Amino acid sequence: MSRKIVALALSVVMLFTMALALGEGKTVTGRGESGIGGKDSVVLDVSFDAQGKILEVKLVESKETPGIADAAFERLLPEIVASQSIKVDVVGGASMTSQAIIKAMEDAITQAGFDPANYQEKAEVVVEKAADEELSADVVVIGAGGAGMAAAVQAHQNGATVLVIEKMPKVGGNTILAGGALNAVDDRSEMAIRQNDSVEWHYTQTYEGGDKQGYPDLIHTLVSNVWDGVEWLKGMGMEFNAEPFTVLGGLWPRAWKPSMPVGTGFFKTYMDYVEANKGIEVRLNTKAEEFITDETGRVVGVKCTGETGNTVTAMAAKGVVCAMGGFSRNVELRQAYNIQWATLDASIPSTNHPGATGDAIKMLMKLGADLIQMGNLQLLPLGDPETGSLSGAIEHGVESRIFVNAEGKRFVNEGGRRDEMTHALFAQPGAFLWVIMDSDTYPTGDIKNNFNESIDSLIAAGRAFKGETLEELCAQIDVPVENLKAALEEYNKHCLSKEPDAFGRTLYGTPIDNGPFYAGKRVPTMHHTMGGVRINTKTQVLSELGQPIPGLYAAGEVTGGIHGTNRLGGNALADILVFGRIAGTEAAKGE
């Protein structure tokens, strides 16, 4: 079943009479609600004049994920009033909320006695071009995702004033859409001993898991500093769940999940810091275009285009941090660099936010920066069948589920590498899989996945399926029950013995034998670009001659040389935290 956002009518108080409809200066109010399967609703109050002009749109209630949904409300509600239209573009990273707003508007228009068909054409909105600006700070950070905000906060804590430039209408980047899992090992802890884990084992799995293409010095920097980063976040108020788990492709139970949903906890922490301290400014809807250098070749700022098309010049007295992300949303670039997959054309969706278009690549090439391992491109096997996003995934951790193909048969080590799982998935009939779980993970319908979605809401929307028995589940997903039963019987034996199975799986939880049973359909999706600009352990950007480009630092997915051919699940957020902090520290020195 395709995903739908179903508009539900609330009881509405209409503040008008027949005479009122003919009067001037009178208003009509409609209330509209929408949500996925009647859950996670958006409720709006909309005021109109007697002729149907939209006067005001107020948000009454939202159960959407805070931090992700905010940008949709902030942009679309005033845009609807300004354009007198509900035919508005969805906000990247908040597409579900955007669609819910549109459905709620249709409901409100109808409840007020008007026709939604009359609100499909946009009124022309003239935006006056603002004056050009020149801004300055000790440190300029380009990109307000996880790496950029870590750099900004750390630079400020090191005594620098900071200006953050972000092209999108909200902070967050890919990080705020992520499941939030963060690999980190504290060698001194009882937890690491109990999990038979260590910093060195994290290093070995990262190095070998990327086919030894990652630079050893960068990997050592990553694994040796990430626990300190976790403590840094905790010191600013961020909370994590008590026990680590194994994230998809993480290979070991060392992933720490924030207590807040998806990646919102990182940005609540960072933005709380920004709001509580002077000296950090975040400029949204401002797109970096070109690095500015002085006569010595030092990077001293960045030329940008502002929201109205004006020029914004951001000058840095000490350093510039490039944290502009990867290029998973740029089909042309990923096709050009692809050497690993049969195709990465537009038929392959992406988990990434719309701003992940590789804007930094041309800017860095113009400086003569060294771009490395650009063909190392990661796909995941767990994308939403319609959008490619990670939302809707029913799994909570590697140990609690299996994958089966359209025939109900297992086909891969579900605890293995991401590239191996995805290559195996492409070889299956229809190139899709079913995630199979039982009630051990979802004892009640209000239990949520890693993306703040309850299993009941996913089932109501047709994004997941539930059967009290395997027969009932298989009837819904059109899988031969005898095959699924055989797959589970064999798998459950290994849950008890803990011995590797025919696929080499070694990570097991409890047997999947306790109904009701659940299934979710998933497809391959473009996820991460491991190649990028070469940096050293100080995050200085290196030229093609291997020399630091003065004044320029980089962190996050824009960099290369850390993950090799295959990034371990949970290492991306570790990467942006560790190298974001280092970039902020080094840029604040002004050396």
Kindly report the CATH number assigned to the domain that includes residue 17.
3.90.1010
Match 């939880």 to its residue by tokens.
509
Task: Answer whether 561's CB lies under 8 Å from 387's CB.
Answer: no
Asked if residue 312 and residue 244 are part of one domain, the reply reads yes
Single-letter amino acid code for the residue at 178: A
Asked whether residue 144 is domain-assigned, the answer is: yes
The whole-number pLDDT of residue 100 equals 85
Kindly report the CATH number assigned to the domain that includes residue 291.
3.50.50.60
Give 111 or 575, the one with higher predicted confidence: 575
> Which run of H or E residues covers position 95?
helix 95-111
**How far is the C-alpha of 316 from the C-alpha of 232, rounded, in Å?**
26
The whole-number pLDDT of residue 123 equals 74
Residue 481 has pLDDT above 90, yes or no: yes
Mean pLDDT of 167-178: 93
Q: Which of 119, 149, 169 is the last residue of a domain?
A: 119
Confidence of residue 26 (pLDDT cuts 50, 70, 90): low
Kindly report the CATH number assigned to the domain that includes residue 424.
3.90.700.10
Could you give the percent of the chain with pLDDT greater than 90? 79
Asked if residue 321 and residue 229 are part of one domain, the reply reads yes
Q: pLDDT (tens digit, 9 = 90+) per residue, 390-423?
A: 989 999 889 999 999 999 999 999 999 999 999 9
Mean pLDDT of 29-46: 68
My answer on whether omega of the bond before 429 falls inside 30° of 0, hence cis, is: no
Return phi, psi of residue 69, to 5°.
-75, -25
The whole-number pLDDT of residue 9 equals 29
Using CA atoms in the order 528, 529, 532, 537, what is the torsion angle rounded to 10 degrees?
Answer: 40
Asked if residue 269 and residue 139 are part of one domain, the reply reads yes
Asked whether residue 128 is domain-assigned, the answer is: no
Asked if residue 451 and residue 367 are part of one domain, the reply reads no
Between the CA of residue 219 and those of 134, 200, 323, 547, 578, what are the distances in Å?
A: 38, 10, 19, 20, 11
Q: Is the dihedral of CA 442, 448, 451, 457 positive or negative?
A: positive
The whole-number pLDDT of residue 35 equals 60
Confidence of residue 485 (pLDDT cuts 50, 70, 90): very high
Asked if residue 362 and residue 436 are part of one domain, the reply reads no
How many degrees, rounded to 5, is the angle at CA 74 between CA 62 and CA 71? 80
Asked whether residue 494 is domain-assigned, the answer is: yes
The whole-number pLDDT of residue 305 equals 98
Asked if residue 553 and residue 519 are part of one domain, the reply reads no
Mean pLDDT of 369-382: 98
The whole-number pLDDT of residue 14 equals 30
Q: pLDDT (tens digit, 9 = 90+) per residue, 572-584?
A: 999 999 999 999 9
**How far is the C-alpha of 93 from the C-alpha of 372, rounded, in Å?**
28
**How far is the C-alpha of 422 from the C-alpha of 245, rounded, in Å?**
21
Asked if residue 207 and residue 59 are part of one domain, the reply reads no
Give 38 or 335, the one with higher predicted confidence: 335
**Annotated active-site positions, please?**
418
Asked if residue 266 and residue 148 are part of one domain, the reply reads yes
Task: Tell me the helices (H) and strands (E) count for the chain, helix number first.
Answer: 14, 21
**How far is the C-alpha of 590 from the C-alpha of 231, rounded, in Å?**
26
Match 């007295």 to its residue by tokens.
317
Q: Which of 524, 544, 579 is the last residue of a domain?
A: 524
Mean pLDDT of 152-159: 98
Asked whether residue 211 is domain-assigned, the answer is: yes
Match 């859409």 to its residue by tokens.
177
Asked whether residue 427 is domain-assigned, the answer is: yes
Q: pLDDT (tens digit, 9 = 90+) per residue, 40-93?
A: 478 899 999 988 999 999 998 887 777 777 878 888 999 999 899 998 887 766
Q: If we measure between CA atoms, which residue out of 551, 556, 586 comes closest to residue 292? A: 551
DSSP codes, 413-425: -TTS-HHHHHHHH
Q: What is the overall mean pLDDT for the chain?
A: 91
Compute the residue count for the chain: 591
Q: How many domains does one find in the chain?
A: 3
Residue 439's domain comprises 382-524
Task: Answer whether 500's CB lies under 8 Å from 506's CB.
Answer: yes
Confidence of residue 188 (pLDDT cuts 50, 70, 90): confident
Mean pLDDT of 99-119: 90
- In 3-state terms, what secondary structure has residue 148? helix
**How far is the C-alpha of 3 from the C-alpha of 15, rounded, in Å?**
34
Q: Supply the DSSP symbol for 448.
A: B
**How far is the C-alpha of 143 from the C-alpha of 288, rounded, in Å?**
9
Residue 126 has pLDDT above 80, yes or no: no
Q: Which of 93, 119, 145 is the last residue of a domain?
A: 119
The whole-number pLDDT of residue 289 equals 98
Q: Which of 30-34, 203-207, 458-462 has the lowest mean pLDDT?
A: 30-34
The whole-number pLDDT of residue 8 equals 29
Asked if residue 288 and residue 264 are part of one domain, the reply reads yes
The whole-number pLDDT of residue 92 equals 67
**How far is the C-alpha of 30 from the C-alpha of 583, rounded, in Å?**
50
Asked if residue 349 and residue 203 are part of one domain, the reply reads yes
Task: Answer whether 446's CB lies under 8 Å from 460's CB.
Answer: no
Asked whether residue 78 is domain-assigned, the answer is: yes
Task: Answer whether 139's CB lies under 8 Å from 587's CB.
Answer: yes
Task: Answer whether 160's CB lies under 8 Å from 587's CB.
Answer: yes
Mean pLDDT of 128-138: 96
pTM as predicted: 0.88
Q: What is the CA radius of gyration of the chain?
A: 25
The whole-number pLDDT of residue 93 equals 66
Asked whether residue 173 is domain-assigned, the answer is: yes
How many degrees, rounded to 5, is the angle at CA 58 between CA 55 and CA 64? 145
Q: pLDDT (tens digit, 9 = 90+) per residue, 222-245?
A: 999 999 999 999 999 999 999 999
Asked if residue 297 and residue 266 are part of one domain, the reply reads yes
The whole-number pLDDT of residue 285 equals 95
My answer on whether omega of the bond before 500 falls inside 30° of 0, hence cis, is: no
Asked if residue 296 and residue 152 are part of one domain, the reply reads yes
The whole-number pLDDT of residue 62 equals 83
Mean pLDDT of 311-316: 98
Q: pLDDT (tens digit, 9 = 90+) per residue, 449-465?
A: 888 889 999 999 999 99
How many degrees, rounded to 5, is the angle at CA 378 between CA 150 and CA 259? 40
The whole-number pLDDT of residue 261 equals 87
Asked whether residue 124 is domain-assigned, the answer is: no
